[in-house]
Amino acid sequence: MQDLEKIIKQFKKVGPSEEYKTQSLQLILNTPQNQKSIISIKIKEVLKFGLALGLTGALITISLSDVFYTLNARFLSPIFLSSLSEENLKKEAGQIDIKITISEAKYYSGSLNKVAAALNEATQNGPGHLNSSILEKEIRGLNIDEENNNNIDKLLNKLIL
């Protein structure tokens, strides 16, 4: 324990040599100091603030003035907004009306033919889907007792119940 105390006391004596002290002191004192003048710093800050304030004011003035709308009307309107003129809108509305009536006419002509054919069949032979001979023929064609049908019945019962 005493040996450790002696070693620590010897570390207290450790220090730089006198020659190193004087050389480093002279080096520190002879190094030029970069001192910025307070006036130049304040001038830069004032200029930055003034520039930011000026740009903000210019943007507000431009956005509130008619310059933006005039440029928009001059450059964009002929290209993009030409279809919004009153004449063009009336023409398009007229064309839509014609298109609707043509499509309606085609639909009605097709449906009239189908209705006429169904009425002719019903008046001549009676409704075909209610004809007893046709129904009996279809019933004979069904295999009700097949195994697949029983499986389908079981599945349907499971779903329902």
Q: Report mean pLDDT in 10-residue bins for the chain, 161 residues.
A: 75 84 90 75 89 92 74 61 70 69 73 78 66 75 68 76 69
Tokens encoding 130: 């209610």
pLDDT of residue 54: 94
Domain range summary for the chain, segments of one domain joined by + = 47-83, 85-129
pLDDT of residue 155: 76
pLDDT of residue 78: 56
Q: How far apart are CA 82 and CA 78, in angstroms?
A: 5
User: Is pTM beyond 0.75 here?
Assistant: no
pLDDT of residue 136: 78
SS3 call for 75: helix
Q: How far apart are CA 26 and CA 18, in angstroms?
A: 12
pLDDT of residue 139: 74
pLDDT of residue 94: 73
Q: How far apart are CA 70 and CA 63, in angstroms?
A: 11
pLDDT of residue 105: 72
Q: How far apart are CA 132 and CA 122, in angstroms?
A: 14
Tokens encoding 127: 């409704």
pLDDT of residue 47: 92
pLDDT of residue 51: 94
Q: How far apart are CA 137 and CA 114, in angstroms?
A: 26
Contact (Cβ atoms closer than 8 angstroms) between residue 128 and residue 134 = yes
